[in-house]
Structure 1
Amino acid sequence: MTRSIPWQQRLSTGTEDIQNEVIGWYQRTRHGKAYVPHMIWGTLQTEAYATVILRRVVDFLGVPDDVAAGVAKRMERQQVLYDGEHRYDVVLGEQALYTNVGGGQVMREQLERLLREIDLPSLELGILPATADFGIVPMPGFNMREDRVDYELVSCGVDITDAGELALHHKAFDALGGAAHYGDSARSLIGKALAFWSND
């Protein structure tokens, strides 16, 4: 089954409620996967980076302004990285390291955090080089839980639960992950981006 819900409906009370809902998803998901081509995965965002993102969401969609409360919830959700009970496989597109979210200082702090967190036992973080040939057509980012795939589109969030579609998403994630760089190679790509923002 595929279900879409307009963002204005999901965010009708602001950003805090949906972030609280996401906390529940993450707490229930023992092994999650995420492909994020153009920005930093929410569960690794710094407070400053998340503030810029949620401010843009509120301004663009015209929903109630509770950015500070939404950011606090997003920071709370990150505890799953440290509780020893969860695991996340994450592939960031190299472009995510360069998409300007808040300017040089915000980006430097964000990339420094990636370098600090890359060795977390709960995290397998890969960087998909911009020139990688990963054998499938380019696609928007998605998050996977055991029983669903979630997309965040411009106008709505889309949830997919059909078993056949989930299997295709696992296959796609394997292709993306197979072309991504990990460990020292990923650190090198992050370090190159950090040098770029340090010269900004």
Structure 2
Amino acid sequence: MTYSIDRARQELGRRLREIRRSAGLTGVQLAELLAWSQPKISKIETGRQAPEAAEIANWVQACGRAGEAADLINRLNDLESMWVAWKDQLRHGHSGIQARIASEEKRVRVFRGYEPTLIPGLFQTPDYARAVLESANRKNRSTSDIEDAVQQRIQRQEVLYRRDKSFRYIVAEAALHHRRGNRETMAAQMDRLITLSRLSNISFGIVPFDSSPPYLPNHGFLIRDETSVVVETISAELTLSHQIEVEQYLHVFQMTASGACFNSQARTLIGNAAKQATT
């Protein structure tokens, strides 16, 4: 996952190095013009350090290429938007995150998602969502609001009934059994899944324990249309938008789907999980 960020930083550094060289400047000479250290020039050009927007502007100005500042700063903004730490997002609370996601979902036509250990947010019941968000608070050492966030997550689910949108989700069977909340919470969640799986615009698949798909991801992800992929890590939310990366995730999604069961077979597994939750 960090490969994408590293590569974007390296591409930005490589472009800045090309600009310096085209100006006939050595790293030492550019450092003197900018009153920087030469190691800083080297770190930026090799992608070990990301420059600030003002530093990019000064760099290209010193090289006589001020007209390229806007494009390079846009590249920097794309790089920074790839990785957003949860601690930064939680400054506005869980409800702020839910509001931001709801706004983004309005623009998406086709959702493709995979989760190995939990039910996707759009399919969660209030009690299940509350348990998930409480767990997130413990992980992030946060006391952020929960109830407002639960309400907003449930409100987000209105998008499931939009016939102009398509939802294609797959979970590993383990997601049906990992306990979130109490037994009643899990039973109600399974009942909710069965109901949603009958909607015509929803395809809900389960990779059974005894299935062996060509490839099974070890982390969850969400593909929005065919333009971006969102991956939630322990520390941050990562957004990938390079076409080659999106295509790779689409390929992985299809491989995972080939080992999943859908419709009545999926509902049978969900029903079995519901029975286990209450015994």
Q: What TM-score results when the alignment is normalised by the length of structure 2?
A: 0.69
Are 2:130 and 1:51 equivalent residues in the alignment? yes
Are 2:165 and 1:165 equivalent residues in the alignment? no
C-alpha contact 1:150 1:160 (8 A) present in aligned 2: yes
Question: How far apart are the structure 2 equivalents of 1:95 and 1:7?
Answer: 25
Amino acid at match of 1:155: S
C-alpha contact 2:114 2:253 (8 A) present in aligned 1: yes
C-alpha contact 2:206 2:260 (8 A) present in aligned 1: yes
Which residue in 1 is equivalent to 2:90?
Answer: 11
Map 1:60-139; keep pairs closer than 5 Å.
Answer: 60-136=139-215, 138-139=217-218
Which residue in 2 is equivalent to 1:39?
Answer: 118
Which residue in 1 is equivalent to 2:79?
Answer: none
C-alpha contact 1:115 1:190 (8 A) present in aligned 2: yes
Residue 188 of structure 1, CA deviation? 1.0
Where 1:14 maps in the other structure, the secondary structure is helix
Identity across aligned pairs (percent)?
A: 26
C-alpha contact 1:45 1:110 (8 A) present in aligned 2: yes
Query: C-alpha root-mean-square deviation of aligned residues, in Å?
Result: 1.2
Residue 191 of structure 1, CA deviation? 1.1
Which residue in 2 is equivalent to 1:149?
Answer: 229
Where 1:53 maps in the other structure, the secondary structure is helix
Question: How far apart are the structure 2 equivalents of 1:47 and 1:197?
Answer: 17
Residue 138 of structure 1, CA deviation? 3.5
Residue 26 of structure 1, CA deviation? 1.4
Residue 137 of structure 1, CA deviation? 5.0
Question: How far apart are the structure 2 equivalents of 1:137 and 1:93?
Answer: 9
Tell which has more relative contact order, 1 or 2 (C-alpha 8 A, sep 6+).
1
Aligned partner of 1:175 among 255, 262, 267? 255
Aligned partner of 1:30 among 85, 95, 109? 109
Where 2:113 maps in the other structure, the secondary structure is strand
Question: How far apart are the structure 1 equivalents of 2:168 and 2:217?
Answer: 19
Amino acid at match of 1:131: D
Which residue in 2 is equivalent to 1:184?
Answer: 264
Give unpaired runs (5+ residues) of structure 1. Answer: none
Amino acid at match of 1:97: L
Q: Which is greater in Rg?
A: 2
Question: How far apart are the structure 2 equivalents of 1:64 and 1:26?
Answer: 26
C-alpha contact 1:86 1:122 (8 A) present in aligned 2: yes
Where 1:28 maps in the other structure, the secondary structure is coil
Question: How far apart are the structure 2 equivalents of 1:177 and 1:133?
Answer: 11
Q: What TM-score results when the alignment is normalised by the length of structure 1?
A: 0.95
Which residue in 2 is equivalent to 1:193?
Answer: 273
More helix by share: 2
Query: Can you list the C-alpha shifts for 1:162-190, whole angstroms capped at 9, x where unaligned?
Result: 10010010000001111110011101111
Question: How far apart are the structure 1 equivalents of 2:104 and 2:213?
Answer: 29
Question: How far apart are the structure 1 equivalents of 2:131 and 2:270?
Answer: 20
Question: How far apart are the structure 2 equivalents of 1:136 and 1:121?
Answer: 27
- Cα distance change on mapping 1:158 and 1:38 into 2, 3 Å: same
Question: How far apart are the structure 2 equivalents of 1:137 and 1:66?
Answer: 34
- Cα distance change on mapping 1:156 and 1:108 into 2, 3 Å: same
Give unpaired runs (5+ residues) of structure 2. Answer: 6-81
Query: Can you list the C-alpha shifts for 1:71-107, whole angstroms capped at 9, x where unaligned?
Result: 1110111011112221110001100000010020100
